[in-house]
Amino acid sequence: MKKIIFILLVILLTGGQNLPSQEVPDADVYLITCGPGTETYSIYGHSALRIVIPEKNSDLVYNWGVFDFSTPSFAWKFAKGRLDYMLGVYPYQVFLEDYNQEQRWVISQKINLLQEETWILFALIAENLKPENISYRYDFFYDDCSTRIRDILEKAIGNKLLYPPDGPKRSLPTFRDKVGEYQRPYPWMKLGIDLLMGSPGDRKASFRDVMFLPVDLKNGLSAAVVNRAGKMVPLLQDPEIVLNYDTPVKKAVMFNTPIFVFTLLIIAVIILTAVYRGVTANNIIDISIFSLFSVLALMMIFFNFFTDHQQMKWNLNIIWLNPAIIVCLASLLTGRHWQIWFQITFFLAAIFLVLIVILPQEINNAFVPLIITLIIRSSIRSGFSWNPLTLPHLT
């Protein structure tokens, strides 16, 4: 979740949990949690580990959120789900400077580790820093800068690390719910995420699962305990504020929200459909509308079948944004009257609208005006005798 890549300052870490204590320096390990920013990549916050070794005058941050914008075919790899992140290591003060410039709060919490657990942590990080292991395939829900920290602490501490039990499954949030908490001030971003995220995003997220988000990692690990010979010791000590900035507050303006804009769109479509009955005017209207929906249909095809992003698979929006729309556009551009494809588009959109409340995927309310627009414009070209809006030259 960092936008720039730092020069990696790899330090020599002693590996192996059975090394004698005199060969391993004492170290303090801290969980660093950074508040949300205003850029798209930063609205979820960030997590990192800080390791301080006084004996070596070493104070370094281990950051699993490093990527390089200069990566060849960056955008394509990101869309395909094949963008690699990596573990970056750099001085703590360098890390803080970036967040100070962005005016984002930073909280530090010391992790209560025994010496042998710290050694295991060292060994795990040393293994991660090997050239063949330093990069990893990023997965927002299951393998990101926060889950990497959770996982490495679980390995270092073992089964002595205990989380609070989950509540009833019906009360658990979904992954979509969790990311939606951060997207609320950015309704257009939320619309895009809801469009592209498939039904895997509506799976219930357990106490451990929600730690893919930095603030939830902080809260979750703060509630975790370690069994020390029958005594339950908090995993994290009390938080210390390192940089004290307010979380940016951005209020969505109603007149610039998707639901408002798309409601105006459907009103305009209804008026144009009722007023303009000529061939040329309707061709212009439909070519414009079906061009937009064809782009969205192509996106559905790509992200359902040609990307490695598992969260974008099984996206039920492909029912109303289906390939038949593209054929409809071809029909309009070539002057053919392929009514069957408009009928398919009409029925799929209508069925989707009727079933929207019971689908196993949450559908953004702002899509409803778009679906109704598609229903109206496909119906008038379907040749239905019952539709008074059917274009005369298609009957």
pLDDT of the residue at 387: 81
* Residue 25 confidence (pLDDT): 73
Distance, CA of 312 to CA of 201 (rounded, Å): 8
Instruction: State how far Cα 264 lies from the chain centre.
Output: 29
Give residue 338's pLDDT: 92
Determine the pLDDT at residue 389. Answer: 77
What integer pLDDT is reported at residue 73 of this predicted model? 62
- Backbone φ and ψ of 88, nearest 5°: -110, 145
Q: Model-level pTM?
A: 0.87
| Mean per-residue pLDDT pooled into runs of 10, the chain (395 residues) | 35 36 74 92 93 94 83 62 86 95 96 96 95 91 96 97 94 96 91 94 97 97 96 97 89 82 95 90 95 97 89 95 98 93 97 96 96 96 85 66
User: What's the pLDDT at 306?
Assistant: 87
Return the amino acid letter for 19. L
Residue 97: what pLDDT? Answer: 95
| Residue 243: per-residue pLDDT | 97
C-beta contacts of 246-254 below 8 A and 24+ residues apart? 246/105, 247/35, 247/36, 247/105, 248/36, 248/37, 248/38, 249/185, 250/38, 250/185, 250/186, 251/185, 252/184, 252/185, 252/186, 252/187
